[in-house]
Structure formats: structure tokens, C-alpha cells
Amino acid sequence: MQFYSSDSTAPLPAATHVLGASLLGQGGSSTQPWPVLQVLTPLLAGPAQALQEYWHSSQTVRHGQFHDVRFGSDGHLLYGVISLDEARFADNSGCALQNAAEQAYRQLFSLLEAEGCRHLWRVWNYIPRINAVEHGMERYRQFNIGRHQAFADFDRPVDSSPAACALGVADGPLAIAFLAARQATQAIENPRQVSAFAYPQQYGPRSPTFSRAALASNGDHSILFISGTASIVGHRTVHPGDVIAQTRETIANIAVLLEQANHQQQGQPYTLAALDYRVYIRHTADYPAVQQTLAQLIGPAMRVVFVQADICRADLLVEIEAQAFAAR
């Protein structure tokens, strides 16, 4: 297995080696031959209006389409994108988003089986109006019901879930990107937090299906995915209304995940300073406070992209995800 990286500053690789990309921000076009996840949410810093992050391989990539999924695969690693307009899934129950989520994940799992890349490594979920309540239920909870149902239908145990994130965007389709591979990851949980797949019912009738982090490795390369992480201890939100304290608590959670990951692997330990971060901030006005707090905790050379997005609990103001690549 040869590798992939996501680096927005590196020169663009040849199209025949691009698995796919995500395009954050406004503007930019995605008429490329590879799959692109469009995340229509504003970037908060830097001169760029839009930022494209690529996943590429040293091997030749084949691009394809499977139902509504567009994907690129080198035979070992597969990146796919699906975006579904939930209006297509309206029925008498009124749970269009739930139906769209179930359909998206059913297509995703079918593709992975057809392509022989059974192991889901990382999923990025972008949900329009995530905190809105419709038909008596918050839309994030509807999304969770549909996602959970697809896991059950495909005999996917929720306690071996991928690393993931779930963020809210203003409008547009349900948009999901994912990485999957022939090899499994090591799932990592956070001893400070109840596992998301075991959250109590007060957060919705079906639990989210993600692990707190995942470590993937092939002997001489490894990649660590830190899922969307927030100011949650046990299963409760802590520091409601205090974005600086939430940022500190989130980094404390990520530091614990790094400790857990370092127990599970040989080689150079992962550190906060060596991660690539994506930070989602609910209120644009909180950006300077979050930026300063992170610079103190991570160091001035931190590599971070700031994005405005809604978080899946109404009392969460910030969510942070990260990844790290290492040669072993």
C-alpha cells in the first residue's frame, strides 16, 4: 500500500494519482475528473475564499461512479463522495433527512463491498440546518437514526466505527466524504468520554456511530485520524457559553487521544504540535479567542484551517478535528 496525503500547499499531483478532494469555502469550482466534496461554509482566516485538500496516491487511481457515490481508488485505498438532496427522500413520515442518511450509508457500504475496501477509516458528514427541529426531533438526531440503521442493515458493529465528524452547514444537500481501505484501522476511544456509540438516550434514540480516533498503518507509513472533538466530558457538554474553556477542554481531549494512540504504536510519538487541524467555530465573532487559545496550547507554528460551521449539539461552540501522517 502506498500513500496519500492531504496537503494544501504541495504542488497539485497528476490527475491520475488523485483519489479525490474536499473543497472548503465559497467559490472554487469542482469540474475535476476526481470526486470533490463541496463544503459550502465560510473560511474564517487567510486570504483564500476556498481551499481544496487532496488525497492522492503514489499509484494509479481509477475514478468511478456507483449510484450516487463518486469515488477514486488505487485498489488499496478508496475516497468517495456522496451528496443527496433530501427532497428526493420525502415520504409520509416526513423524515426526509433520516431517509437520505440511511440511503447515503447504504450506498457507501454497498460500494465498499463491491470494491473490496471493506474497512471504513474516516467519514466527514455535513448536514444542512443540523440543529433545526423538524417533526419534533432535532435534525442531527434524525441523521443518527438513518446512519445507525444502515450500519445495522450491513452488519457493521457500531463499536468498530470509523473516525468521523458531523457538522452543520446553512443549506444545500447532505454531503458526505469517506476514506476506506482493504486494511482495518485500530479504533481509539477516550477514557475521559463515554464512547459516542454508547451515549445515553437523552442525546437521541439512536447513537452516533464513530470512534474517537483511528490509527491506520501499513508498516512503513501511518496515519492518525482524530475525529471531531468537542468540550464533552463523560457524555455531558461542559463549559456551555464559554468558548475559551470549551477550546481548552477540547484540546485536553485530543491530548488524551494522542496518549492512547502512542500506547498503540511504535515509532515517534504523536504530539499536539505535529497535527494538522481543522477547527469549526459556530460564531464567527469567536474566531480571535479560539485562535489565540490554540496558539497558546499548540504553539505558534500550528497548522490549522478555521471554518464557520454549526456543531451537532446546540450548546457546543467549537469542534476540532485533526490528522497526522508519519513515516515509520
Phi first, then psi: give them for residue 125, nearest 5 degrees. Answer: -110, 125
In the bound complex, what is the minimum distance in angstroms from residue 33's beta carbon to ligand 3EB?
A: 29
Distance in angstroms between the alpha carbons of the first and the last residue of the chain: 14
1 or 82, CB closer to ligand 3EB?
82
- Which positions lie near ligand 3EB, rule CB under 6 A? 125, 164-166, 196, 208, 210, 227-228, 230, 232, 312
Catalytic annotation, residues: 319
In the bound complex, what is the minimum distance in angstroms from residue 190's beta carbon to ligand 3EB?
A: 9
79 or 140, CB closer to ligand 3EB?
140
Question: Taking Cα atoms as reference points, which of 20, 62, 26 lies closest to residue 41?
Answer: 26
- Residues contacting 10, CB < 8 A, separation 6+: none
CA 160 – CA 164 distance, rounded (Å): 12
153 or 220, CB closer to ligand 3EB?
153
Angle at which helix 287-298 crosses helix 243-263, to 10 degrees, equals 40
C-alpha to C-alpha distances, 129 to 101, 170, 249, 278, nearest whole angstrom:
14, 6, 26, 20
128 or 208, CB closer to ligand 3EB?
208
C-alpha to C-alpha distances, 35 to 45, 83, 86, 230, 232, nearest whole angstrom:
25, 11, 20, 29, 33
CB atoms within 10 A of CB 17: 18
DSSP label at residue 129: T
34 or 105, CB closer to ligand 3EB?
105
